[in-house]
Structure 1
Amino acid sequence: MQDEHEISGSKGSANFVWRCTNCKKEHSASFLPSAPKSKSTAPLPYSSSSQFSSFVTLDCRGLEFTEFHLRRGKWVCEGEDSGKAFQIDWDELAQEGEERWDDYDEDKGETVGVSELKSKVERA
């Protein structure tokens, strides 16, 4: 994550800085590497498992994230075997009432899709 904002009264910065209009305190969150001393942005591999995979760690100061919406924004996905890139615009699909994405991988001659997305937020 490239966007960094200065934290008032500090030499530090964070990816997200928010000032509460009621208490006037400043709160922040920063993305941490997925593994110690790792700066990897490698994609998560395909999994048909019902197990959750950790894909983001946040250092939160004065705030707590309680939900994460997977079906927002734009994604770039890669065909598991072909490596072909696919663009997914979840906001556009939501306007059409879709909760899944499907396409055709011409390189492999197979249908591809993303569905049944679930997320949970846990303390690290």
Structure 2
Amino acid sequence: MLALQLTAELTGVTDLRPMDVDGDPFYYMFKVSCTSCREVHDNWIGVTRFETREITGSRGEANFVWRCKTCKRESSAMIKSEPKPYQHSEVPKPKKILELECRGCEFVEFKPEGNWEAKGLDSNTPFKEIDLNEGDWFDYDEKAGAEVSVKDMKWEVVRG
């Protein structure tokens, strides 16, 4: 089991999460590595929890099915549950956002491409279409009368 983990400094917002619903799925962007030959695929791959593909020679399905171009082995991955929101805390702590079950491959790097959402810490103001791809994000919460931000993000794919 692998987990996507985030550490970030949230100011004035909480419940940071990808906008990921059935009609508008979020594509989690990863670099993938083959566990047989250790080759890392050149391109970023997008995985969504709402699409499945058949696994060759099996009755099973997975959100991601991939054949390594170096060793020709097929591998697969499943997103195990919906994403967990990253909560505001005084001291930024690593928290699991997503759990993944990988067979024959590992996700080794993540980039937060796509739309994210959060809500005002005290005001509950919804913030939609947050773009984290370039790094830090800043906005203003009219209800709270204060600047809000997501800063110092650190993404890790960890075992467990």
TM-score, length of structure 2 as denominator length: 0.62
Q: Which has the higher contact order (CA 8 A, sep 6+)?
A: 2
Gaps spanning 5+ residues in structure 2: where?
Answer: 1-48
RMSD, aligned CA: 1.8
Identify the match of residue 80 of structure 1 among 107, 121, 124: 121
Amino acid at match of 1:79: G
Match of 1:121 in 2: 157
Aligned pairs, number: 111
Distance 1:8 1:81 in 2: 50
Question: Which structure 1 residue ranges, 4+ long, deviate > 4 Å from structure 2?
Answer: none
Deviation at 1:121, TM superposition (A): 2.0
1:53-95 deviation per Cα after TM superposition (whole angstroms, max 9, x unaligned)? 111111110011222224x22211211222222121234xx3x
Instruction: Report sequence identity in percent.
Output: 41
User: How do residues 1-124 of structure 1 correspond to structure 2 at under 5 angstroms?
Assistant: 1-33=49-81, 41-70=83-112, 72-86=113-127, 87-91=129-133, 94=134, 99-124=135-160
The farther-off stretch of 2-11 and 42-51 is 42-51
Distance 1:68 1:42 in 2: 16
Task: Specify whether residues 54 and 41 from structure 1 end up closer, same or farther in structure 2 by C-alpha distance, changes over 3 A only.
Answer: closer
Deviation at 1:4, TM superposition (A): 1.3
Q: Is the 8 A contact 2:123 2:144 kept in 1?
A: yes
Distance 1:58 1:111 in 2: 34
Counterpart secondary structure, 1:121: strand
Deviation at 1:21, TM superposition (A): 2.1
- Tell me which structure has the larger Cα radius of gyration: 1
Task: Specify whether residues 28 and 10 from structure 1 end up closer, same or farther in structure 2 by C-alpha distance, changes over 3 A only.
Answer: same
Q: Which structure has the highest helix share of the two?
A: 1
Amino acid at match of 2:92: S
Amino acid at match of 1:105: D
